[in-house]
């Protein structure tokens, strides 16, 4: 956890005060003021009109700005005591959301506003770690741009070269993660290097990153993409963006290979620009001397999701999607996705796999203990049929409310299927894809090989892809094995 400091948020429209925690280095801007949380816990306020900076103990906002502020702050659950936190991870999640689909960020903000307000012109400034949007109800005096940003921070980490036995000190930007053959390391918000413990299901502090010489060669090649004016090597978000830029110019593989020796080469290099991430396989032809490497910038949760995405989305080398224009999809049973809605089969599959719980619980707790305000928890707060958005400690709901949440969540999955599937489907295929998208999320669905097979009219190939999505937070999950089997059976009916 980073350094968070509690402040008061004054909703001047409602004459209401609330408490929020802000991470050091985070800035919130509205029409007239820019509020920044400093490392000493003091809130600096820059007046855009007078050009003067003062220190205050509260943020003053109108109601629509208040709602936008809390919408972004609720992107992640950083606090284990139930308090609301505005963090760098929250802002990065919003940036990733925008990069994935601008309308998703726009809709997320809009859901938290009154109906009279609209969200216009959302923007993400990747290099500045910043997002902004114009919120308006049509009256200029009651409209403004709101913006969120966070500072770059670099912290030292050690690399243990197991080939030479030497130790090297490097710097990593806060939020950068590196995965080496399934071992996931991340520079956390507190400036400490952490490694994900798959058995405990949590991040634990570690002394350094272990890697062989050829893995270190690739690591250093990526870290050298941008010079951050430091004497030691630095792995930063800008380096990852630079690597993604090289990939788009078809130069990344050559750039990485020039640093490799002893017949080592990279292959199957892929970028995930909507997630500020890329992966590559390094090998000299010997399976025991090869490695899958993943570089990612984002929250701790997103680092695990990217690991699952790379593992789940591995395509058979001897089976790739082929555009099959000979598939005849004519007749009443085949419809454009826009003409379909989920049937009872989709809802029954989702409800059967998403256990109904009518109170707040931790999704990593097998005992489903009721989480009340002040209780500690490791995973994501969940309620109903796997609903997570806006869930707080101490909540209780009835079955009717759980059904309402389910319909809201299914609606988002339906939107994703209708948006990205470009071929005609049968009802059972549509239902299976809705269940799949509901479970893996829009971003993963959009980038999945499964979708590529579907859009190539290769439905037998698509069916095989379901069984690949069985990893959760780095581990094979029996529940997902069962769910993927049911989705595949429904899809192939």
> In the prediction, which pLDDT does 108 show?
78
Quote the CA–CA distance of 462 and 337 in Å, as a whole number.
Answer: 16
Tokens 């709602």 — which residue? 67
> In the prediction, which pLDDT does 22 show?
93
Quote the CA–CA distance of 441 and 436 in Å, as a whole number.
Answer: 8
> In the prediction, which pLDDT does 28 show?
96
Which of helix, strand or coil describes residue 89? Answer: helix
Domain boundaries, the chain: 4-150, 154-305, 337-355+399-491
How many other CB atoms sit within 10 Å of the CB of residue 370?
A: 17
Note if 354 is an active site residue.
yes
Which of helix, strand or coil describes residue 72? Answer: helix
Tokens 């306020």 — which residue? 45
pLDDT along the chain (493 residues), means of 10: 84 91 93 93 94 93 92 73 81 80 77 84 86 90 91 91 94 92 89 87 90 94 74 82 86 90 89 78 88 88 74 50 63 87 93 91 86 84 88 92 92 92 94 93 83 89 88 75 94 92
Q: Which pair of tokens denotes residue 204?
A: 């634990």
Q: Which pair of tokens denotes residue 396?
A: 């209780």
The domain 337-355+399-491: what is its CATH number?
A: 1.10.530.40
- Pick the catalytic residue from 354, 429, 442, 487: 354
pTM of the predicted model, to two decimals?
0.63
> In the prediction, which pLDDT does 327 show?
65
66-87 b/e (C-beta count within 10 Å ≥ 16 → b):
bbbbbbbbbbbbbbeebbbbbb
| Residues across the chain | 493
Tokens 């702050």 — which residue? 73
> In the prediction, which pLDDT does 332 show?
80
User: Angle 427-433-434 (CA atoms, 0-180°, nearest 5)?
Assistant: 90
């Amino acid at each position: 956890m980073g350094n968070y400091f509690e402040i008061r948020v004054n909703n001047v429209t409602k004459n209401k005060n609330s408490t929020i925690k802000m991470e050091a280095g985070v800035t919130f801007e509205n029409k007239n003021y820019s509020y920044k949380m400093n490392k000493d816990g003091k809130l600096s306020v820059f007046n855009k009109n007078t050009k003067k900076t003062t220190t205050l103990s509260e943020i003053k906002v109108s109601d629509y700005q208040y709602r936008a502020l809390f919408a972004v702050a609720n992107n992640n659950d950083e606090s284990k005591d139930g308090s609301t936190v505005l963090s760098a991870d929250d802002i990065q999640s919003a940036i990733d959301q925008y990069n994935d689909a601008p309308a998703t960020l726009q809709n997320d903000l809009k859901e938290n506003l009154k109906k009279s307000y609209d969200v216009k012109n959302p923007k993400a400034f990747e290099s500045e770690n910043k997002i902004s949007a114009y919120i308006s109800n049509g009256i200029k005096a009651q409209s403004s741009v709101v913006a969120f940003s966070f500072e770059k921070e670099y912290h030292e980490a050690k690399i243990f070269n197991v080939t030479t036995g030497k130790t090297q000190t490097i710097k990593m930007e806060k939020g950068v993660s590196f995965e080496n053959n399934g071992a996931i390391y991340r520079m956390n918000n507190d400036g400490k290097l952490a490694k994900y413990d798959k058995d405990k299901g949590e991040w634990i502090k570690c002394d350094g990153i272990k890697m062989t010489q050829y893995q270190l060669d690739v690591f250093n090649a990526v870290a050298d993409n941008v010079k951050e004016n430091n004497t030691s090597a630095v792995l930063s978000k800008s380096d990852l963006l630079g690597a993604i830029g090289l990939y788009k110019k078809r130069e990344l593989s050559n750039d990485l290979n020039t640093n490799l020796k002893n017949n080592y080469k990279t292959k199957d290099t892929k970028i995930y620009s909507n997630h500020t991430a890329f992966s590559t396989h390094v090998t000299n032809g010997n399976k025991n001397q090869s490695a899958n490497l993943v570089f990612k910038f984002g929250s701790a949760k997103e680092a695990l999701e990217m690991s699952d995405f790379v593992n789940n989305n591995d395509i058979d080398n001897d089976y790739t999607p082929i555009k099959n224009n000979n598939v005849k999809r004519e007749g009443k049973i085949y419809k454009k996705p826009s003409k379909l809605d989920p049937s009872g089969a989709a809802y029954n599959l989702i409800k059967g796999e998403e256990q109904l719980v009518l109170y707040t619980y931790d999704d990593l707790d097998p005992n489903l203990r009721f989480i009340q305000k002040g209780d500690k928890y490791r995973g994501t707060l969940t309620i109903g049929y796997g609903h997570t958005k806006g869930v707080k400690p101490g909540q209780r709901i009835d079955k009717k409310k759980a059904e309402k949440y389910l319909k809201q969540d299914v609606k988002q999955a339906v939107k994703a299927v209708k948006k990205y599937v470009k071929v005609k489907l049968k009802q059972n295929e549509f239902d299976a894809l809705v269940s799949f998208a509901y479970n893996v999320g829009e971003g993963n669905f959009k980038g999945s090989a499964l979708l590529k097979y579907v859009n190539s009219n290769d439905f037998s190939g698509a069916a095989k892809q379901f069984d690949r999505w069985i990893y959760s937070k780095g581990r094979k999950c029996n529940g997902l094995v069962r769910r993927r089997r049911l989705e595949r059976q429904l899809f192939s009916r």
